[in-house]
Amino acid sequence: MSLIEKIEPLLLAVAALIGLALGHFGGLSGLLGPWVQILLILMLIGVFWDIPFKDLKKGFSDLKFSLTSLAINFVWIPIFGFALAKIFLGGHDDLQIGFIMLLVTPCTDWYLVFTAMARGNLPLSASILPLNLIVQLLLLPVYLWIFGGLAGQSDPLYILWQVVLVLFVPLVIARVLTRLSASRERLNGALRRLFPGLRFWYLFLAVACMFAGEGGTILERPDIFLLLLAPVLVFFALNFVVVRLAASAMKFSFQDGVSLNLTTLARNSPVALTVAIGAFPDRPLIALALIIGPLIELPTLALIAHLLLRLGRRLKVPGYE
C-alpha cells in the first residue's frame, strides 16, 4: 500500500475542506460543479483499468471460503447495515444511504495490508479480490434502487440509470483502451500514468468540486461525525463476532478465519463514494458519510488486526509465536 493509499481518508477529508472553502466564492463554485461527473468518469476508468477478469476463477480456489465470504458480504451485511441505519440514523435519510453504501461495498485493496498484519492466509484473501469487485459492481445499481426508495426519491429509475452510467460507461472505456494499447508499450505506459496513476487525484478533485457547490448544507451539520461513530463501531464489533462464529462453524483454520474476518470487515469507500457523488450530486451528506466512515474504519481495522494477532498467540497457533 502506497503512502497515498494509507492516508486516503484523510486526504479526502482535506478535499472536502478545500471544497467548503471554495464554496464561499459563489461564481467559482458554479464553474466547478459541471466538472464533477467528468472527474468521476476519469477516476473510474483508472479503477477499472486492471480488473482481473481472467483471474475470476481464482476466487473459487477454495469454494467453501468464497461462498461464505460472498454470503456474509452481500447477504448478511446489507441486511445488518440496513438495521443499524434504522436504529442509529432514523430521521437522517442521507446519512442512512451513505452508511449503507459504505457497508455494502467490500474493500478491494487495503484489507490485504491488514490481513498480512494479522498473519492471515494472504493468498486466499487475494484470490477473492476480483470476485468481490465484480459482484459489488453488479449489485450496486440494485442497492441504489433500494436506497433511492429509502430516501423517498420520486424517480428511482433515474437514479438507477445514473448509476449504470457512472459504473459501466467508464468500465467499457477502460476495457477498450487497455485492449487498444496492449501491444503498444509507450501508449500503454502513457495511458496508465493518465488513468490508474492519477485516479485518486481525480476523486480528490471531484470531492472538492462537489463540496464547493454544496458547502452550506454541510456546514449546518457539525454533528455528523458523532452520529456515524456509534453505528460504524457497532458494525465492526458485532460483525467481528458473527464472522468468528461463522469461521468456527465452517471449520476454517485460524489463518483462514482471520482472512474471512478482514475480507468481511474492510469496506471499499472510494467506489461507493464515486457512485454516491454521481447518483446523488445534490445531496452532499451522503458523500460526507462515506468520507467520515473510513476515518473511523482504518484505526479500527488496525486494532482488530492486533487483536487477532494476540488471539493467535493465546491459542498457540503455529506462526503466531
- Taking the C-alpha atoms of residue 40 and residue 207, their distance in angstroms, rounded to an integer, is 9
Which cell goes with 123?
493468498
Say what the pLDDT of residue 114 is.
86
Band the pLDDT of 284: cuts 50, 70, 90.
confident
Tally the C-alpha atoms within 13 A of residue 194's C-alpha that lie toward its C-beta.
12
Say what the pLDDT of residue 234 is.
96
- Taking the C-alpha atoms of residue 27 and residue 45, their distance in angstroms, rounded to an integer, is 30
pLDDT of 278 over the 80 cut: no
Q: What is the mean pLDDT of residues 20-24?
A: 76
Structure-model confidence comparison of residues 131 and 32, the more confident one:
131
Pick the CATH number of 3-313 from 1.20.1530.20, 3.40.50.2300, 3.40.50.300, 1.10.730.10: 1.20.1530.20
Tens digit of each residue's pLDDT (9 = 90 or more) over 255-270? 999 999 999 999 876 7
- Taking the C-alpha atoms of residue 128 and residue 83, their distance in angstroms, rounded to an integer, is 27
pLDDT of 193 over the 80 cut: yes
Band the pLDDT of 60: cuts 50, 70, 90.
confident
- Strand-pair partners of 267: 106
Would you list the domain boundaries of the chain? 3-313
Q: What's the pTM?
A: 0.78
Say what the pLDDT of residue 155 is.
59
pLDDT of 294 over the 70 cut: yes
Say what the pLDDT of residue 132 is.
87
Structure-model confidence comparison of residues 4 and 294, the more confident one:
294
C-alpha angle 32-38-39 in degrees, rounded to nearest 5: 80
- Tell me if 99 sits within 8 A of 85, measured CB to CB: yes
- Strand-pair partners of 106: 267
When mean pLDDT is compared across 14-23, 83-92, 213-222, 279-288, the lowest value belongs to 213-222
Tens digit of each residue's pLDDT (9 = 90 or more) over 196-220? 888 888 888 887 887 776 655 566 6
Band the pLDDT of 233: cuts 50, 70, 90.
very high
- Taking the C-alpha atoms of residue 22 and residue 207, their distance in angstroms, rounded to an integer, is 12
pLDDT exceeding 90 applies to what percent of the chain? 27
When mean pLDDT is compared across 101-115, 152-166, 279-293, the lowest value belongs to 152-166
pLDDT exceeding 70 applies to what percent of the chain? 85
Which cell goes with 20?
467548503
Band the pLDDT of 147: cuts 50, 70, 90.
low
Which cell goes with 186?
509507450
Mean of the per-residue pLDDT values of the chain: 83
Say what the pLDDT of residue 225 is.
84
Which cell goes with 129?
479480490
Say what the pLDDT of residue 243 is.
96
Tens digit of each residue's pLDDT (9 = 90 or more) over 100-121? 989 998 987 778 878 988 989 9
Band the pLDDT of 145: cuts 50, 70, 90.
confident
Exposed/middle/buried for 184, CB within 10 Å: 0-12, 13-18, 19+? exposed
pLDDT of 151 over the 60 cut: no
Say what the pLDDT of residue 258 is.
95
Say what the pLDDT of residue 91 is.
84
Say what the pLDDT of residue 229 is.
92
Cell 481495522 appears where? 301
Say what the pLDDT of residue 152 is.
52
Nearest CA to 278 among 169, 183, 150? 169
- Tell me if 296 sits within 8 A of 229, measured CB to CB: yes
Cell 491459542 appears where? 315
Buried b (16+ CB within 10 A) or exposed e, 79-94: ebbbebbeebbeebbb
